[in-house]
Amino acid sequence: MTAKDRIAEPWGTRTPYGPGEQWPQRTDIHLQEGLSAEDVDRWVQSASILHSNGDAMDIAVKDDRIVGVRGREADRVNHGRLGVKDLYGWQANASPDRLTRPLVREGGRLVETDWDTAMGRIVERTQQLLADQGPSAVGFYTTGQLFAEEYYTLGIVAHGGIGTNHVDGNTRLCTATAAEALKESFASDGQPGSYTDIDHADAICLYGHNVAETQSVLWMRMLDRLEGPNPPKLVCVDPRPTEVARHATVHLAPLPGTNVALMNGLLHEIIAHDWVDHAYLEAHAVGFDELATRVKDYPPEVAAHICDVPAEQIREAAAIIGQADRLLSTVLQGFYQSNQATAASVQVNNIHIVRGMLGKPGCGVLQMNGQPTAQNTRECGGDGDLPAFRNWSNDEHIKDLARVWNVDPMEIPHYSPPTHVMQMMRYAEDGSIKLLWISGTNPAVSLPELPRVRSILTQERLFVVVQDIFLSETAQLADVVLPAATWGEKTGTFTNVDRTVHLSEKAVDPPGEAKADLEIFIDYAHRLGLKDKDGAPLVKWHDAESAFEAWKECTRGRPCDYTGMTYEKLRGGSGIQWPCNDEHPDGTERLYEDGKFFSAPEYCESYGRDLITGAPVEPTEYKALNPTGKAVIKAAGYMPPHEIPSEDFPFILITGRTLYHFHTRTKTGRAPELQAAAPDVWVEVSEHDAAAQGLAEGDLLEVSSPRGSLRAKARITAIRSGVVFVPFHYGYWDTEGGHAPDDVGRAANELTITDWDACSKQPIFKTAAARIEKVADADGPSPAPRIGATR
Ligand SMILES: Nc1nc2c(c(=O)[nH]1)N[C@H]1C(S)=C(S)[C@@H](COP(=O)(O)OP(=O)(O)OC[C@H]3O[C@@H](n4cnc5c(=O)[nH]c(N)nc54)[C@H](O)[C@@H]3O)O[C@H]1N2
Ligand SMILES: Nc1nc2c(c(=O)[nH]1)N[C@H]1C(S)=C(S)[C@@H](COP(=O)(O)OP(=O)(O)OC[C@H]3O[C@@H](n4cnc5c(=O)[nH]c(N)nc54)[C@H](O)[C@@H]3O)O[C@H]1N2
Ligand SMILES: [Mo]
């Protein structure tokens, strides 16, 4: 199938298969217009960097330029397929807008300079702040889009060298709840399931996960099962008419923010019908009685009333889930970014524990990731956690990390939980954080309540470093801008949702003086003179492979054990799932196969939190609750969202994605085919609400919340009434219009609220109150895509 058709038909042709069979291969390829595979000089191994699926691919190189991509058939994840963003997105690498030299602010303007000057300023400011105030003056805000080697290096610099506890990634906005839900139920991060569970499942439930648009190759796998013999039943929980909803056996469209009530309704039915694996519970879990008591309060009628869905549908969905022999569940932002994020996501784990559906083919939970390397941010300490799932409140783990790093344990901050980014922004607002180093993320578009974010980042007293590949909305506010090399221009590894590790090799040189993020972090460490306790350089590696070897040592014996992998082993064939070590030299398909968890008190990553208040559980409390390392069932009651519709703001606002764009579009907005497919912002309004307000397709609306407003054209859809949806991809940067810093009227985050989940600290991008008013009549349809939820 040619790539051209893939804009119109993004999931390509079907290759149906039955339960337990191998998913057939299909090789997707797209090369620059006029070239064929024979013209390619070399193919360089890599994987996708535009979502978390980990689709393996080869980068086509001709005359030392990237000219296309081809899926890798041999890979366990995608069997040769690629999503539409990957087929086109590589074009952004060669954009003339790439940053090629460092920039520094002079007389209010950013001007080009050399690396010595730029790094010199950062180092000087760091040293001065460390002398004046100490480590708490310095914060790092990184991403889910660098490589493992880079996060590990940033982690040692921040935690082991500078000694600050202010380290977080944009994974906080993304998969903090995935990590937290796994920590609550299994006392450790780490995805229990495998993508091959799709091949075996007889029921697949997608909770707040628009997989068709956000992991389109995974959806191809599900579609191929749906079109094959004995297809699985599909349950979709989403207030919008997504492609998943269209294919669902049962589509539950709850009011946004009511996920906990719905989950409790489902669990009520499962327990009331005794679709429970009592032997599994007895042997492998604690906490069932509390759950059984709690969900007694949520018979289907009660849940149906809170969620505004038919009680009968809850019963139907519960019967599918309760009677499945091989149940696969996936969870994503409709839960993670909504009210009671962790509490809701944990209930999905509870279903699997109660039904004994873990560690067997077809029985997986995928607490999904979003970004391509989000798993590594979490594993390597880029999100403030300690590397290799060490427990910050276990002194033995701190000692062990200090041994690996050869530093004094007291130098590693562990007096309180790591500072999450919303708190870091607060400290910057208050003036205690005075240097904020932002790498690989664009908070001036992606954080909630942008008017506030801009005012924080532009303060005179805050020194902002931005490390990016483009002059993003955030980079434009920086004091120093560092030009980074990216995917295809540097080497490193990263890990997808189902623990598959891929190697991504350098295919071409970066533009101008741009440098790999790894090189930049190492250079900073050496310039600062960071030393271990024997006076040797703290960072003892010099390139990606030596960093990987160091990281492997750090993971030895931990859940995410990488010691059995090498770059060489990752070359040529398929990616490999951790843990991979002497015991499991070929990697590990599923965790918890024997009902054994990483949750023993002395081994576990986390003792968990109170699901309502978020307060960390004390070590002694945890030991009493779970002395022998079982799975932990945690119950939670429903609590309404903090901001609910009112007379002034009668709608519930939710935000999210379209198939064609990645986040703030710095890459996909520079791929002409993708930009043309979704050129501008829109707002989804239900048929019912449009009729009530006299709105038609394409009318220009003003959407307002208590925090700000934006303008967008209306797309009338079957979204549930009372709810409006705005994609968050559109900052003020525009391919046609150039940069227009004052025109901020189209980013979804102008409207969103400064609020976060008590447990995971993930911001609540889905559930705020809003109003819509017509500004002008339509002059044609809205710019919303013609596929997916906006079809
Ligand atoms: N095309 C594309 N793919 C991507 C990305 C991208 O930007 N573009 N980004 C990647 C990243 S980083 C991420 S995190 C993932 C995100 O992937 P998804 O989570 O699948 O994407 P979203 O659109 O953010 O949200 C999913 C759905 O949540 C629903 N929803 C909103 N509120 C609620 C609620 O209260 N309850 C329920 N049950 N559902 C609700 C929305 O209607 C939406 O369809 O995608 C990854 N893949
Ligand atoms: N309203 C609303 N807001 C949201 C969400 C939502 O659903 N609704 N979703 C949230 C989620 S899940 C996410 S993940 C975030 C994403 O939000 P961001 O991380 O802010 O979005 P990106 O556009 O991916 O920003 C990545 C930046 O890194 C740069 N970059 C790319 N590759 C490299 C590299 O190799 N090195 C360096 N140094 N820089 C690089 C890019 O040019 C870009 O500026 O947004 C969050 N914000
Ligand atoms: Mo994300």
- Catalogue the E-assigned strands of 582-737: 631-632, 651-656, 682-686, 700-705, 708-717, 723-727
Residue of the CA atom closest to atom 47 of ligand 1? 214
CB of 564 closer than 6 A to ligand 2? no
Single-letter code of the amino acid located at 686 = S
Ligand nearest to the Cα of 481, by number: 2
Q: Is the pLDDT of residue 572 over 70?
A: yes
With a 6 Å cutoff on the Cβ, whether 467 touches ligand 2 is yes
User: What is residue 4's predicted lDDT score, i.e. its pLDDT?
Assistant: 67
| Residue keyed to tokens 């393996």 | 56
Question: How far does residue 675's CA lie from ligand 2's centre (Å)?
Answer: 17
pLDDT band for position 235 (50/70/90)? very high
H-helix or E-strand spanning residue 66: strand 65-71
Q: Which atom of ligand 2 is nearest to the CA of 439?
A: 38
The pLDDT, as a whole number, for residue 2 is 61
pLDDT in tens, 461-506: 999 999 999 999 999 999 999 999 999 999 999 999 999 999 999 9
Q: How many other C-beta atoms are found inside a 10 Å radius of the C-beta of residue 707?
A: 18
pLDDT tens-digit map of 44-65 = 999 999 999 999 999 999 999 9
Chain-centre distance for alpha carbon 418 = 19
> Above 90 in pLDDT, residue 568?
yes
CATH topology of domain 651-790: Barwin-like endoglucanases (2.40.40)
Ligand nearest, relative to CA of residue 765: 2
**For helices 300-307 and 311-323, angle between their N-to-C axes, nearest 10 degrees:** 120
Q: Which of the listed residues 210, 252, 720 should we mutate to test ligand 1's pocket, taking the one with most ligand atoms within 8 A of CB?
A: 210
Question: Is the pLDDT score of 737 beyond 60?
Answer: no
Region 6-12: mean pLDDT is: 94
Q: Name every residue whose Cβ is closer than 8 Å to that of residue 36 and which is 6 or more positions away in sequence.
A: none
Residue range 682-714, pLDDT digits in tens: 999 999 999 999 999 999 999 999 999 999 999
pLDDT digits (tens, 9 = 90+) for 604-630: 999 999 999 999 999 999 999 999 999
Task: Please give the distance, rounded to the nearest whole angstrom, from the Cα atom of residue 516 to the centre of ligand 1.
Answer: 29
With a cut of 60, say whether residue 736 has pLDDT above it: no
Measured in angstroms, how far is the CA atom of residue 490 from the centroid of ligand 2? 19
Average pLDDT on 247-270 reads 98
Q: State which ligand 1 atom lies nearest to the alpha carbon of 337.
A: 32
Q: Hey, what amino acid is at 772? A: I
Residue 629 CA to residue 596 CA, distance in Å, equals 8
Give me the mean pLDDT over the 406-419 stretch: 94
Pairing of strands 65-71, 29-31: antiparallel
- Tell me the ligand closest to 143's alpha carbon: 2
- Which of 50, 171, 214, 237 maximizes ligand 1 atoms within 8 Å of its Cβ, making it the mutation to test the pocket? 214
| pLDDT tier at 634, thresholds 50, 70, 90 | very high
User: What's the mean per-residue pLDDT of the chain?
Assistant: 96
Tell me: the pLDDT tens digits for 441-473?
A: 999 999 999 999 999 999 999 999 999 999 999
Q: What is the whole-number distance in angstroms between the Cα of residue 740 and the centre of ligand 3?
A: 26
Residue 656, ligand 2, Cβ within 6 A: yes
Instruction: Give the whole-number percent of the chain exceeding pLDDT 70.
Output: 98
Q: Which two tokens stand for residue 244?
A: 């998943």
Q: Is the CB of 765 under 6 A from ligand 2?
A: yes
Tell me how far apart the alpha carbons of residues 719 and 788 are, in angstroms, rounded to a whole number.
12
Has this prediction a pTM greater than 0.85? yes
Of the candidates 313, 308, 235, 302, which has an alpha carbon nearest to the alpha carbon of residue 268?
Answer: 302
Nearest CA to ligand 1 atom 7: 662
The pLDDT, as a whole number, for residue 733 is 74
Ligand 3 centroid distance, CA of 566 (Å): 28
What is the phi/psi pair of residue 235, to 5°?
Answer: -115, 125
Residues above pLDDT 90, as percent of the chain: 97
Q: Which of 442, 487, 518, 707 best tests ligand 2's pocket when mutated (most atoms within 8 Å of CB)?
A: 442
182-228 pLDDT tens trace: 999 999 999 999 999 999 999 999 999 999 999 999 999 999 999 99
Question: Is residue 491 in contact with ligand 2, taking CB distance under 6 Å?
Answer: no
As a dihedral over the C-alpha atoms of residue 272, residue 274, residue 278, residue 284, rounded to 10 degrees, the angle is: -60
Distance (angstroms) between ligand 3 centre and the Cα of 726 equals 16
Mean pLDDT along residues 135-145: 98
> Which of 264, 333, 658 most suits a substitution to test ligand 1, by most atoms within 8 Å of the C-beta?
333
Pocket of ligand 1 (CB under 6 A): 51-52, 85, 174, 208-210, 213-215, 237-240, 242, 254, 256-257, 259, 332-334, 338, 370-371, 654, 656-657, 659, 661-663, 766-767, 789
In the predicted structure, residue 277 carries a pLDDT above the cut 90: yes
* Atom 16 (ligand 1) nearest CA: 370
Domain range summary for the chain, segments of one domain joined by +: 103-174+374-470+513-555, 178-368+607-632, 651-790
β-bridge partners, 630: none
C-alpha 42 to ligand 2 mean position (Å): 30
Q: Which fold has domain 178-368+607-632?
A: Dimethylsulfoxide Reductase; domain 2 (3.40.228)
> From the alpha carbon of 664, which atom of ligand 2 is closest?
23
Strands (E), 431-567: 435-439, 463-468, 480-483, 492-495, 500-504
**Ion ligand 3: residues, CB < 5 A:** 174, 370
For position 739, what pLDDT does the model report?
43
Distances (CA, A) of 697 to 692, 713, 717, 724: 14, 8, 9, 14
50 CA from centroid of ligand 3 (Å): 10
Both tokens assigned to 477 = 């506010």
Any idea which architecture 103-174+374-470+513-555 has in CATH? Answer: 3-Layer(aba) Sandwich (3.40)
CB of 182 closer than 8 Å to CB of 499:
no
pLDDT digits (tens, 9 = 90+) for 114-132: 999 999 999 999 999 999 9
Contacts for 438 with CB less than 8 Å, ≥ 6 apart: 141, 142, 464, 465, 466, 467, 474, 478
Distance CA 478, CA 435 (A): 11
What is the pLDDT averaged over residues 254-280? 98
Alpha carbon distance 198, 43 (integer Å): 30
State mean pLDDT over 236-254: 98
Q: End-to-end CA distance of the chain, in Å?
A: 22
Closest Cα to atom 19, ligand 2: which residue?
Answer: 441
